[in-house]
Amino acid sequence: MRSEPSERIDLRIMQVWRISGLLRTLLFGAVTFALMALVGKLFNWPQWLSWLPPAAAVVYGGLEVTVLPRLRWERWRYQVNGEEIYLQRGVWYIKRTLIPMTRIQHVDTAQGVLMRRYGLAAVDVSTAAGTHQIPALAEEAADELRDRIAALARVSGDVV
Amino acid sequence: MSSGTVLRPWPGYPAMLSEPRRLHLLGILLSSLQLLKDFFLPLVIYFITSISQKGFSTAWLLFTGTVIILAVLVWGGLGWYRFTYRVENDALVVEQGVLVHKRSVIPRERIQSIDLNQGLWHRIFNLVAVQVETAGGSSPEALLSALTLADAETLRHELLVPGVEAETNHAEPAALLKSAAFSELFLFGATSGGALGLVVSLFSGALTMLDDIGIELDWQQYITWIWDQANLVYLVLLVLLALWLLTALGMVLKYGGFTLTRTNDRLQMVYGLLQRRQVSIPIGRIQAVRLVEGVLRQPLGYLSIYVESAGYGQKGREKTLLWPLVRQRELVSLLGEFLPEFAWDIPLQPLPAKAGRRYMLRGFIPALLPALPALVWLPRGELAMALPLLGALWGFWVYRSAGWGLRDNMLAVRSRSLVRTTFIVPNRKVQSFSIGSTPWQRRAGLLSFELDLASQASFGLRDIYPTDAETLTCWFKKR
């Protein structure tokens, strides 16, 4: 099997993942708890059932805050050369993707509120089949990479 | 359909191509009908409330009805008047809108396909609706709802044929043509998923209905009872048979008179008995060929051919039927004739032997989850164990059906969920290539791969050897 892509993404993304993971977990826990409580009232289910989703949320949220960001960051690799973009990601299912420069239609950088706070940006690479994202680079690095990919893609010409 | 009988909308109709042109006058009727359809519900509500308040009176009904129809016709007429199209600077320019003026410009090189459709009204007046699609668009970029056949063909030539080829292509001498036989189309309909699904769902519906009548699920009693009610059974079977025939005939109506034409650089499919459809695809836009063998069709030795083209179709994912039904052994010769770019008899290699157990587990375990509680809590719960066993069998079936093969720059990947599907794709049409593995796969020394196409389709296989994955990577990187 080929070797891993060489570059790592920015370490600060772990903090972003922790916060967004926590928010998502809280939302999920609250909504499912409310739903279970409501349905439980209607059908006279035992009270403890409605505590199951929040409990699951706490367990999963715990993982999202502690180990998952680290694992995810360690796995995330990318590499850009004149020929192609090479990505690796995934905690359980490790996936490596090759995107030839000739297939790239356009490149964007994107930044959410949290990402901006940490001075990070994502690079979105679009082909005719869909978009691939390099999730976190320092803002300047992201801009630089975006311009580099755009230049390389232009040189390679365009085929659909 | 000779061009001598072309109806011009009015005498002063512009003859110069770059001048704005209008639709055929029938366009007024069509858009008025569409308007009535759009406002059908509000109108019904209005009529019902009015009648319930003021009581029914013929005079009132006639008056309001006339006003509404006039208003709709006037609106449709205004819309028709404001709708013009022209070809200017290598682009189709469409202007429309009564209150809000809208102008869309579609450059010729962005046009993916130009389809001609005929509804019932169109057939009566010998007109067509022209639908212009571009890559990546979600809906037709431009819809010209009523043109004479001659006008439509003129427009198509202006938009599709690049300058140099215009001369040679105009006569279209080297066109290949093949029409589907009625028997083929009927078999296509009779074995279609729709017909099968209908029968299965009706049959299960009939079973539950019998159940509701008050027969307990004691099979011995059940069968003797049904035996006694032989007439009812015959009736149900007869109804099922009739429905199945109807669905099959429906498919024949939809795909009747299927004709496939290959000219120099494009494929054209024309089909439909009531609603005539014409689909035209440039060869260069075809991303992959998809061979589909339905559960009923595969044992009979038949398959359907679809083409995947970039951004074409309503949802992007939609595949276009190239040929409804062909015998497996005639496939290569048919493709060789009409789509030689994809006519490859690629020998497939099966998945590694050690993948078989993994495929069976993938069918077994998800089916075990609902079966276990049934085993514990339901009476006769051990019957539920048939479910995971079926799952494992299905997994084995999927495993045996899967395979892949390379020949030069072409890749064939065969897989099954229920129907067996084979993709044939050249490496330069693959947008991105992925390999991946779970910890379990890594322990077993196996990998999965996946390809993404511009038609939004992705396909791949689970559990191949890493060396084979490397071979595929090299194939993908080869220019």
Contact A90, A84 (CB under 8 A): no
Tell me what the pLDDT averaged over chain B comes to: 81
Q: How confident is the model at residue B450 (pLDDT cuts 50, 70, 90)?
A: very high
Non-local (6+) Cβ contacts of B286 within 8 A are B267, B307, B308, B309, B339, B341, B342
Nearest CA in chain A to B438: A93
Q: Which of A142-146, B111-115, B341-345 has the lowest mean pLDDT?
A: B111-115
Q: How confident is the model at residue A35 (pLDDT cuts 50, 70, 90)?
A: confident
CA–CA separation, B156 and B250 (whole Å): 30
Maximum distance among all Cα pairs of chain A, rounded to whole angstroms: 67
Q: What is the mean pLDDT of residues B212-230?
A: 60
Quick check: A4 pLDDT over 80?
yes
CA–CA separation, B144 and B36 (whole Å): 19
Residues B267 and B221 in one domain: no
Which chain B residues touch A127 with a CB distance below 8 Å?
431-432, 452, 454
Q: What is the pLDDT of residue B215?
A: 47
CA–CA separation, A27 and B265 (whole Å): 55
In a domain, B176, yes or no: no
Q: How far is CA B264 from CA B257, B287, B323, B339, B342, in A?
A: 23, 18, 18, 11, 15
Q: What is the pLDDT of residue A49?
A: 79
Residues B54 and B189 in one domain: no
Q: What is the percent of chain A with per-residue pLDDT over 90, rounded to a whole number?
A: 56
User: What's B21's DSSP letter?
Assistant: B
Q: Is the pTM of this model over 0.80?
A: no
Quick check: B6 pLDDT over 50?
no
Q: What is the mean pLDDT of residues B144-162?
A: 82
Q: What is the pLDDT of residue B304?
A: 92
Nearest CA in chain B to A85: B432
Instruction: Strands of B97-170 (E only): list them.
Output: 102-107, 111-118, 127-134, 142-148
B98 touches chain A (CB under 8 A): no
CA atoms within 13 A on the CB side of A134: 30
Q: Which of B398, B433, B454 is the last residue of a domain?
A: B398
CA–CA min distance A83, chain B (Å): 9
Quick check: B189 pLDDT over 90?
no
CATH architecture of the region A78-155? Roll (2.30)
Quick check: B137 pLDDT over 60?
no
Contact B65, B51 (CB under 8 A): no
Q: What is the pLDDT of residue A129?
A: 86
Residues B370 and B277 in one domain: no
Q: What is the mean pLDDT of residues B251-272?
A: 86
Contact B327, B302 (CB under 8 A): yes
Q: Which of B376, B398, B420 is the last residue of a domain?
A: B398
Q: What is the pLDDT of residue B3?
A: 38
> What ipTM does the predicted assembly reach?
0.87
Give whichever of B139-153, B223-237, B432-446 has the largest mean pLDDT.
B432-446
Q: Residue B242 is encoded by which pair of tokens?
A: 């009739």
CA–CA separation, B185 and B412 (whole Å): 27
Residues B142 and B274 in one domain: no
B469 touches chain A (CB under 8 A): yes
Q: Residue B100 is encoded by which pair of tokens?
A: 């809000």
Q: What is the pLDDT of residue B288?
A: 93
Q: pLDDT, tens digit, for every residue of B80-120?
A: 999 999 888 888 888 888 888 888 888 877 777 777 888 87
CA–CA separation, A104 and A134 (whole Å): 14
Of A92, A93, A103, the CB nearest to B432: A103
**For the CA atoms of A51, A53, A56, A57, what is the dihedral angle to 10 degrees?**
-110
Quick check: B474 pLDDT over 90?
yes
- Give buried/exposed letters for B191-225 (b at 16+ CB in 10 A, else e): bbeebbebeeebeeebeeebeeeeeeeeeeeeeee
Q: How confident is the model at residue B166 (pLDDT cuts 50, 70, 90)?
A: very low
Q: pLDDT, tens digit, for every residue of A15-33?
A: 999 999 999 999 988 898 8
B425 beta partners? B411
Would you call B477 and A83 a contact, using CB atoms and an 8 Å cutoff?
Answer: yes
Give contacts of B 173-192 with A, CB under 8 A.
none
Residue B264 corresponds to which amino acid? Answer: N
Residues B215 and B266 in one domain: no
Residues B310 and B452 in one domain: yes
Residues B70, B73, B77: CA angle, nearest 5 degrees: 135
Residues B205 and B321 in one domain: no
B310 touches chain A (CB under 8 A): yes
Residues B111 and B235 in one domain: no
Q: Residue ranges per domain, chain A?
A: 13-70, 78-155
Q: How far is CA B86 from CA B14, B22, B91, in A?
A: 11, 9, 8
Nearest CA in chain A to B450: A97
Residue B367 corresponds to which amino acid? Answer: A
Quick check: A58 pLDDT over 90?
no
Domain enclosing residue B290, as ranges: 259-351+402-477
Residues B263 and B361 in one domain: no
Quick check: A54 pLDDT over 50?
yes
Q: What is the pLDDT of residue B202?
A: 64
In a domain, B178, yes or no: no
Residues of A with CB under 8 A from a CB of B: 1-2, 83-84, 90, 92-100, 103, 127-130, 132, 159-160
In a domain, B316, yes or no: yes
Q: How many CB atoms lie within 10 A of CB B247?
A: 19
Q: How confident is the model at residue A34 (pLDDT cuts 50, 70, 90)?
A: confident
B409 touches chain A (CB under 8 A): no
CA–CA separation, B3 and B14 (whole Å): 17
Q: What is the mean pLDDT of residues B136-154?
A: 78
Q: pLDDT, tens digit, for every residue of B262-315?
A: 887 888 888 888 877 888 888 888 899 999 998 888 888 999 999 988 754 444
Q: What is the pLDDT of residue A71?
A: 94
Q: What is the pLDDT of residue B195?
A: 60
Of B135, B432, B469, the CB nearest to A127: B432
CA–CA min distance A117, chain B (Å): 32
Report the Cα B355 to chain-centroid distance in Å.
Answer: 33
- Total structural domains within chain B: 4
Residues B212 and B76 in one domain: no
CA atoms within 13 A on the CB side of B282: 19
CA–CA min distance B257, chain A (Å): 32
Q: Residue A89 is encoded by which pair of tokens?
A: 């990601």
Q: Which of B3-12, B238-247, B261-270, B361-370 has the lowest mean pLDDT?
A: B3-12
Quick check: B73 pLDDT over 60?
yes
Gyration radius (Cα) of chain B, Å: 28
Q: pLDDT, tens digit, for every residue of A72-131?
A: 999 999 999 988 999 999 999 999 999 999 999 889 999 989 999 999 999 999 988 889
If one compares B18 and B417, the residue with the highest pLDDT of the two is: B417
Q: Which of A81, A103, A158 should one mutate to test binding to chain B, selecting the residue with the greatest count of B CBs within 10 A? A: A103
CA–CA min distance B432, chain A (Å): 5
Residues B166 and B200 in one domain: no
Q: What is the pLDDT of residue B217?
A: 53
Q: What is the pLDDT of residue B154?
A: 84
Q: What is the pLDDT of residue B219?
A: 58
Q: What is the mean pLDDT of residues B121-137?
A: 78
CA–CA separation, A14 and A139 (whole Å): 16
Q: Which of A7, A146, A134, B430 is nearest to A154 (CA)?
A: A146
Residues B19 and B95 in one domain: yes
Q: What is the mean pLDDT of residues B142-158?
A: 86
Q: Which of B239, B255, B271 is the last residue of a domain?
A: B255
Q: How confident is the model at residue B41 (pLDDT cuts 50, 70, 90)?
A: confident
